[in-house]
Structure formats: structure tokens, C-alpha cells
Amino acid sequence: MPYDSLVVGGLMPIPLACEPMADVEPLRALHYDPEKTGGLQDVVAPPYDVIYTEGRADLIARSPYNVVEIDLPLPIDGSDPYAHAAAMLDQWRAEGVVIRDQTQAVWPIEQDYTGPDGLTRTRRGFLARVRVEDYGPGKVRPHERTHPGPKDDRLRLTRATRANLSPIFALYSDPEQQTWTALEGGTRGAPWAQTIDPDGTVNRIWRVDDELAIKAVQRATAGSELLIADGHHRYETARAYADEIGGEGPHRYVLMCLVAIEDPGLTVFPTHRLLGDLTEEKWRNLRATIEADFEVAPLDELDQLPPDTNDTVDIGYLDTRERRPYRLRLKSQASADTSLAGHAEPYRRLDTAVTEALLLKGALAMTDDQIDHLEGLGYARDAQHATELVLAGTYDVALFMAPVPVARVRDVAMSGESMPPKSTYFFPKVPTGLLFNPLVD
């Protein structure tokens, strides 16, 4: 398929197909009845993969209808948790707590947030259903590798509930903001619902069923290649489920929150690496590799550990033995190029890829399976938390990553590569429970 190029804001060209690719559709959503639940504040939740046991209990305490009851079900007296989720969703529908729209709509969403960098922004997007496609040029691209476990869990849940309970977060190109222009008129009144996350993010959502606005959204997104920012496991689950059912129907679509890659409120933050269970041999190998491949410079303060740029491969370093902060700077790109031979150029310049190749797989001889199953490896999105875990001895070493520019994320994906797991942290998350996408008529 031939491609043209579009230069966006001085960034590298984004390939665009000469014919429509993304199939973005309005949906007849399932959603809570705000009158029955007193709004959505007490029934929404963060995505399932960032909720811990105590957090789930707190959410259920707020409302027996909180979405975690079906999105993160627990076995009761040895029962099948997925069957429990399906039964609860059926019960809520029977009670009128969850209802089905009679007409199709798209749902604009605004999120006012303060990022980990302390800056306040507004991110705009919209919720819709998108046809599930295989990964590939001109269709949908992933940007990170995924772990195998969550996909099995999400597939079992989808089979049981026959619905998408949580939206995938994806990016598309819209340099002139045509989509938001089409939807903006529907956002001038009071939102259909508003919620506030524990981190202070204000989420506002509107329902737009105007046919002209929907057609304008479809025209604006028709030539877009979609880049999954968050929710790879859920997308791969949707693809597996669609193939499992076969034929055509609602199961061929998945719930997405779509945000323009040019949206000024779009930001990406880093996820830091934590190393544990280091034997003496592993300590020696790690230090030898650092001395061979990196320039090492002490830092004055612990809060200087996270690098503030991804222009060079810089890594913050803290361990339990010296308990002093250091900056590691890659001496020569050649060492990374050798270890990452066969990978595309944008990938070889990622600090997460260099860390994985030189330190995890090189110095510590970790396998892909060990990395996938977090054997001797952990992650932390908050730099202070990572620091505390090392100083408390919970982990031996923390490796602090820099934020990845959105353009770099896109360039890696366009090269056909997928970043190492947890290379990016798109903030804020899109709450679960705003809408559900039924997979049966």
C-alpha cells in the first residue's frame, strides 16, 4: 500500500495511507445510570492492573456497584471469579443500575491533571468503538511488549461478560484538531458525568449523538494509523476473542479512548527499574558492566536521580550498598548497537532498551522469560517510591529512566519495533466504569 507523509509540528513524518484505515464507530454503550448510583464518582475505578488488594476493598466500600466487582472479580467461597463478574453485570442490568443506550454516540472526554512533573495540563480525547485489526502498518501498532499472564485473565473475563469493561488508550494523528472541533459543540453544556481521581485528576465526559458530528469524527480519523499507548493486553485479548467467535458482529470492535498525538495535554512519563536478589557474582558483573560501558558521576541529591531528558542514554543509579546517587551515561552508542544488533535505530537509542540489553540481559544474564515474570525485577512509576524501596532494602538497585518523548514512541512503533515492557507511563489513566462496550447485540 503506497504512503504519503505528513509533517506534524516539526516532528518526523507520520506515514498516512492513501485510503481509509481506522474504522472508528459510535457505540450503543452500556453504562451506569447516574440517577441510580448518585453519579459515577463512587463506581469508577483505576484500570485493573494498577489496583492492589487494599485498594480494591476501599473501592467496594464506596459502593457495592463499583466496577472492580466485575472488572477485577475475586472468587467467593471457591467460585469462578469470571462467572461471578458475569452474574453481577447481569444483576446490575436487571436492576437498572447499568443500562443500554437506545442510540449510538461518541463520548468526548477532558482530563484536567497535574503530572508527576508538577505541571497542570488538560488532555482531550473521545471514547468510541474501533474495529479490531491485526497489528501492522496502516492499521494498529503496539509500542510495548506485553507479559503473557494478564492476557489469559482478560480473555476469560471477556468470554464471561461479553463486554469490554475498560477502554484501551490509543493515539492517532490529527494535527489540525478536526476531531475535537467536531465534538466541541457537544461539550459546551454540563458534562454527562464528572469524576475526580485520588490523584486529583478531574474527568469530564459528554455524550454526542449528533450525526453530523459523528460523521466529521469518522472523516478525521479515517486515514489514521492507531498507536496503542496503554492497554496492549486488552487489545490482544479483543483480537483473540474476535477470532474465537468468528464471523462479523459487535465482537469485532473494541472500546477505545482516542487522543490525538498532537494534543498539547498528551504527556509520557518514565517507569523505573528495580533489581533484587543479587548474588555476589551478579553484583560483580553489574559493576563491571557499568564501569566498562558507562561514565559514572556522583549526584548531589537523591531527587536528581531521574534524568530529565532522553536525548542521550542517561540512567540514574542507586544501590543498597553505597546508598549514594549516581548518573550513568553511555560511553559509546556502539556498545548498545552491538548488543541490540538487528533492532531499528530508534529502538537502539531507548534507555529502557539499552538497560535491558546491557544490564539486565548482559550483566545479570536475565532471560526474556525471567523479565516477563518479574524474577529479580520490579517497576516503580514514582521516583521517590523507587528510592524508598532501595533505601529500605526491599530491592538492591534502582535504575531511573528518563521520560520518552511522544515522537520517540511513535518512531519506534513506525519502525516495526515494540519497546521493552513498562517503557512508558501515559498519565493520567482513563478511569474504568465510564462506559462499557457490549460485544453482543
Contacts 24+ apart (CB under 8 A), 8-15: 8/173, 8/175, 8/261, 8/262, 9/175, 9/262, 11/407, 11/410, 12/407, 12/410, 12/411, 14/173, 14/225, 14/261, 14/410, 14/414, 15/137, 15/138, 15/225, 15/414
Same domain, 276 and 264: no
Same domain, 124 and 244: yes
Instruction: Tell me, yes or no, whether 411 lies in a domain.
Output: no
Nearest to 433 by CA among 152, 69, 52: 69
Q: H helices within 246-341, ranges in order? A: 280-293, 333-339
What is the rounded CA–CA span in Å between residue 117 and residue 119?
Answer: 6
Give pLDDT tens digits for 384-406: 999 999 999 999 999 999 998 88
More confident residue, 113 or 1: 113
Q: Binning pLDDT at 50, 70 and 90, where does residue 67 land? A: very high
Give pLDDT tens digits for 195-223: 999 999 999 999 999 999 999 999 999 88
Same domain, 199 and 52: yes
Same domain, 104 and 81: yes
* Cα distances (angstroms) measured from residue 170 to each of 242, 410, 411: 19, 12, 15
Q: Binning pLDDT at 50, 70 and 90, where does residue 186 land? A: very high
Nearest to 276 by CA among 376, 379, 386, 375: 376
Q: Describe the crossing of helices 148-161 and 81-95 by its angle, rounded to 10 degrees.
A: 40
For 255, the domain range is 3-268+427-438
CB burial string 388-399: b at 16+ within 10 A, e below: ebbeeeebbbbb
**Percent of the chain with pLDDT strictly greater than 70:** 94
pLDDT at 310: 67
Residue 191, burial from CB neighbour count under 10 angstroms (0-12, 13-18, 19+): middle
What is the rounded CA–CA span in Å between residue 51 and residue 272?
Answer: 18
Same domain, 343 and 247: no
Contact 340, 310 (CB under 8 A): no
Same domain, 20 and 154: yes
Instruction: Tell me, yes or no, whether 187 lies in a domain.
Output: yes
Q: Describe the crossing of helices 232-245 and 148-161 by its angle, rounded to 10 degrees.
A: 50
Q: What does pTM read for this prediction?
A: 0.85
Same domain, 23 and 172: yes
CATH code of the domain in which 380 resides: 3.30.1760
Contact 386, 228 (CB under 8 A): no
pLDDT at 7: 31
Half-sphere exposure (CA, 13 Å, Cβ side) for 36?
Answer: 15
- Judged against a pLDDT cut of 50, whether residue 377 lies above it is answered with yes
Q: Binning pLDDT at 50, 70 and 90, where does residue 12 land? A: very low
pLDDT at 151: 82
Average pLDDT over residues 145-173: 89
- Judged against a pLDDT cut of 50, whether residue 8 lies above it is answered with no
Residues facing 99 on adjacent strands: 31
Same domain, 233 and 277: no
Sorted by sequence, the CB contacts under 8 Å of residue 100 that are 6+ apart come out as 28, 29, 30, 93, 438
Three-class DSSP category at 265: coil
The mean pLDDT of the chain is 91
Nearest to 186 by CA among 211, 222, 221: 211
Same domain, 145 and 275: no
Based on the structure, what is the number of domains in the chain? 2
**Percent of the chain with pLDDT strictly greater than 90:** 77
Residue 425, burial from CB neighbour count under 10 angstroms (0-12, 13-18, 19+): buried
Contact 310, 351 (CB under 8 A): yes
- Judged against a pLDDT cut of 80, whether residue 15 lies above it is answered with no
Average pLDDT over residues 83-112: 97
Average pLDDT over residues 115-143: 91
pLDDT at 149: 63
Instruction: Tell me, yes or no, whether 173 lies in a domain.
Output: yes
Same domain, 203 and 173: yes
More confident residue, 414 or 321: 321
Instruction: Tell me, yes or no, whether 419 lies in a domain.
Output: no
Instruction: Tell me, yes or no, whether 227 lies in a domain.
Output: yes
38: left (phi over 0), alpha (psi -120 to 50) or beta: left
Instruction: Tell me, yes or no, whether 114 lies in a domain.
Output: yes
Average pLDDT over residues 324-353: 95
Residues facing 127 on adjacent strands: 107, 257
Instruction: Tell me, yes or no, whether 407 lies in a domain.
Output: no
Instruction: Tell me, yes or no, whether 418 lies in a domain.
Output: no
What is the rounded CA–CA span in Å between residue 431 and residue 15?
Answer: 31
pLDDT at 416: 84
Give pLDDT tens digits for 355-374: 999 999 999 999 999 998 89
pLDDT at 372: 85
* Cα distances (angstroms) measured from residue 230 to each of 85, 110, 130, 367: 23, 17, 15, 24
Same domain, 81 and 226: yes
Same domain, 85 and 156: yes
Query: For the CA atoms of the chain, what is the radius of gyration?
Result: 22
Residues facing 438 on adjacent strands: 163
